[in-house]
């Protein structure tokens, strides 16, 4: 009898628990949606790779069923997903008041508990100003010759190879350039390969959080651990060196750590260096790879881009002189091309925030403590704003000034956390394109050595293989630069 009563009580408790899971308490009206399975939620469906250039299937299916604002549960956390431009803009504008930056615990574990994306208030503003010291306009002006030299050097190197995997090659180029500016790292002189650790980190970045040897997630954590060990050793070596003039961003960080009463800690400094190294090369290399694909698919766009850059050279007194800041700022069509590339790339398919207190918006209630995921792909591929949204058309940006995020364009985040590395990304893309179309003559091809994927062919037979898995699997590049 007692056993029967206990069994009945257990069944009632489990039933009640499942009901409460599927129907969370709320003082108002929650957005429609499903909370999925207990504990697991809809995590597995969410992490299903997107193999198209369209809105991720997880999002698109629920938009059709529930509308632009809906609820779900990811890795045990209730989440409101927004594809609504008004709510997205509201979230960004109210950061620090009604919302704050937030990412799932697994991402915090990967990027560090004190990474810039998880910090708020005074500390975040302090770190942002530090990063602007590196990526501000005055620093970028001085950086252009280095970016140009790096691009020319790699293009020459690739021209001697039969086949080059562009995503990996551009990631290597950008990582070496960024690591040099940040920590004076030279892969040719170092006994350890820092980039290999980031490759392992990225491959497991979006994976089921199972920390068991052999899993992608475990390799991701090991990649971070090894990279952080190398950064910490570098920090200790710098501290042991005699006083010298600052030569890179690491020296600048060390000077900040030495200041009396500084709020910067060694842990925060190392996490900052890690995030900057990751964000600066992974996202930009993907954007450049897609840019090359778009050029190969659209010869008229290539022709117009080439004409713009050839005109820059024609107007010089000395044709072979290096690119200047004034010339960079004059690249009108190039910037239209870059905007269209990052709009379709959707490198960051989700930006997370957390409601600080209960919020009412368009008849729905967002409970305090719930996460909100802003979905840029749904904004960038909205047919109400962009005619034929999945088509590549740089001309749609004619006369459109994009200096920060808006309701309809948020490729670099938005609000107070608008990516401070945005201009650095644009400089790298623009300078690379300048070197590509002015120093070499090439045409788009299909077939041959480029199996099932479009590629590029230079006159000397140099082929660039654009890997399909890198250009189409958006979920592999999830976090990116939301700092």
- Whole-number pLDDT of residue 190: 62
- Can you tell me the distance from the alpha carbon of 290 to that of 345, in angstroms, rounded to the nearest whole number? 7
Rounded-to-5 percentages of helix, strand, coil across the chain: 55, 10, 35
pLDDT band with cut points at 50, 70 and 90 for residue 53:
confident
Which residues contribute to the annotated binding site? Answer: 419
CB atoms within 10 A of CB 86: 13
Tell me the whole-structure pTM to 2 decimals. 0.82
Over 70: is that where the pLDDT of 434 sits? yes
Tokens 């009898």 -> residue: 1
Report helix, strand or coil for 32.
coil
| Of 11-25, 139-153, 157-171, highest mean pLDDT | 139-153
Q: Which domain holds residue 296?
A: 27-476
In a domain, 18, yes or no: no
Strand-pair category, 371-374 with 77-82 = parallel
- Banded model confidence at residue 366, pLDDT cuts 50, 70, 90: very high
> In this predicted structure, what is the pLDDT of residue 479?
29
Phi, psi of 373 (to 5 degrees): -110, 110
Q: Is the pLDDT of residue 125 over 60?
A: yes
Residue 214 belongs to some domain of the structure? yes
Average pLDDT estimate for 115-136: 74
* Helix and strand totals (H; E) in the chain: 18, 11
Which has the minimum average pLDDT: 151-155, 242-246, 314-318, 395-399?
242-246
Cβ neighbours around 264 below 10 Å, total: 17
C-alpha count within 13 angstroms, C-beta hemisphere, residue 170: 28
Mean pLDDT across the chain, nearest whole number?
77
Among 138-142, 198-202, 204-208, 409-413, which stretch is predicted with the lowest mean pLDDT? 204-208
**Residue at 455 is within a domain:** yes
Mean pLDDT of 406-410: 82
Over residues 53-60, the mean pLDDT reads 86
In three-state secondary structure terms, 44 is helix
Encoded tokens for 211: 């920390």
- Choose the weakest-confidence range: 15-29, 207-221, 391-405, 437-451: 437-451
Residue 44 confidence (pLDDT): 80
pLDDT band at 442 (very low <50, low <70, confident <90, very high): very low
CA separation for the pair 257, 460 (Å, rounded)? 51
CATH of the domain at 188: 1.10.630.10
Cα(171)–Cα(144) distance, rounded to whole angstroms? 18
Higher-confidence residue of 441 and 399: namely 399
Mean pLDDT of the region 156-165? 76
Does residue 163 fall inside a structural domain? yes
Whole-number pLDDT of residue 10: 62
Looking at the domain assignment, is residue 11 inside a domain?
Answer: no
| Residues 330-364: tens digit of each pLDDT | 999 999 999 999 999 887 778 888 999 999 999 89
213 or 187, higher pLDDT: 213
> Which range is least confidently modeled, 82-86, 88-92, 246-250, 376-380?
246-250
Compute, in degrees rounded to 10, the torsion defined by CA atoms 191, 196, 200, 201.
90
| CA-closest candidate to residue 469, choices 477, 480, 458, 481 | 477
| Domain annotation covers residue 257 | yes
Can you give the pLDDT at residue 417? Answer: 64
Q: How many domains does the chain have?
A: 1
pLDDT tens figures, 459-480 = 333 344 444 434 333 333 332 3
Q: Which residue has the higher pLDDT, 129 or 281?
A: 129
pLDDT digits 0-9 by tens, 3-47: 666 666 666 655 544 555 566 777 788 899 888 777 777 888 887
Q: What is the pLDDT of residues 281-337, one digit of tens each?
A: 678 888 898 898 898 889 899 899 999 998 998 888 877 788 999 999 999 999 999
- Residues contributing to the annotated binding site for heme: 419
Indicate whether 4 belongs to any domain: no
69 neighbors 403 (Cβ within 8 angstroms): no
At 192 the pLDDT is 64
Place of tokens 């700092």: 483
481 found inside a domain = no
Return the closest-CA partner of residue 100 out of 417, 466, 441: 417
Residue 118 has pLDDT above 90, yes or no: no
Please, what's the b/e burial string for 154-185 (b: 16 or more CB within 10 A of its CB; e: otherwise)? bbeebeeeeebebbebbbbbbbbbbbebbbeb
Residue 36 per-residue DSSP state: -
Highest mean pLDDT: which range of 106-115, 214-223, 303-312, 472-481: 303-312
């Amino acid at each position: 009898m007692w056993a029967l009563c206990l069994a009945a009580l257990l069944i009632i408790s489990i039933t009640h628990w499942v009901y409460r899971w599927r129907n969370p308490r709320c003082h108002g009206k929650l957005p429609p949606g499903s909370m999925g399975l207990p504990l697991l939620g809809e995590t597995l469906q969410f992490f299903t790779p997107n193999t198209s250039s369209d809105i991720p299937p997880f999002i698109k299916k629920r938009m059709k069923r529930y509308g632009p604002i809906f609820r779900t549960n990811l890795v045990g956390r209730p989440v409101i997903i927004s594809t609504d431009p008004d709510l997205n803009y509201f979230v960004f504008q109210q950061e620090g008041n009604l919302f704050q930056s937030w990412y799932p615990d697994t991402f915090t574990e990967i990027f560090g508990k004190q990474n810039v994306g998880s910090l708020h208030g005074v500390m975040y503003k302090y770190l942002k100003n530090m990063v602007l010291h590196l990526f501000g306009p005055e620093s970028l002006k001085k950086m252009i010759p280095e970016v140009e030299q790096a691009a020319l050097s790699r293009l020459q190197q690739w021209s001697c190879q039969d086949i080059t995997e562009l995503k990996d090659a551009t990631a290597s180029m950008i990582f070496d350039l960024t690591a040099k500016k940040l920590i004076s790292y030279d892969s040719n002189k170092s006994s350890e390969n820092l980039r290999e650790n980031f490759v392992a980190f990225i491959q497991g970045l979006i994976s089921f959080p199972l920390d068991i040897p052999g899993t992608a997630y475990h390799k991701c954590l090991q990649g971070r651990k090894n990279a952080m060990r190398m950064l910490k050793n570098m920090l200790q070596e710098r501290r042991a060196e005699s006083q010298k003039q600052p030569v890179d961003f690491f020296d600048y960080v060390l000077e900040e750590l030495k200041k009396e009463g500084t709020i910067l800690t060694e842990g925060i400094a190392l996490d900052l260096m890690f995030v900057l190294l990751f964000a600066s090369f992974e996202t930009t290399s993907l954007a450049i790879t897609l840019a090359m694909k778009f050029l190969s698919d659209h010869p008229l766009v290539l022709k117009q881009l080439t004409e713009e850059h050839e005109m820059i050279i024609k107007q010089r007194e000395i044709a072979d002189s290096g690119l200047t800041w004034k010339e960079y700022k004059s690249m009108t069509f190039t910037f239209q091309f870059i905007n269209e590339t990052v709009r379709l790339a959707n490198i960051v398919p989700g930006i997370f925030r957390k409601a600080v207190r209960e919020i009412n918006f368009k008849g729905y209630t967002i409970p305090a403590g719930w996460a909100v995921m802003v979905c840029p792909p749904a904004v960038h591929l909205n047919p109400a704003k962009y005619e034929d949204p999945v088509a590549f058309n740089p001309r749609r940006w004619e006369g459109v000034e994009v200096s920060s995020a808006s309701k309809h364009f948020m490729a670099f985040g938005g609000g107070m956390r608008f990516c401070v590395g945005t201009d650095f990304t644009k400089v790298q893309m623009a300078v690379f394109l300048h070197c590509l179309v002015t120093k070499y003559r090439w045409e788009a091809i299909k077939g041959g050595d480029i199996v099932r994927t479009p590629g590029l062919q230079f006159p000397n037979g140099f082929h660039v293989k654009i890997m399909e898995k890198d250009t189409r699997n958006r979920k592999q590049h999830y976090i990116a630069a939301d700092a």
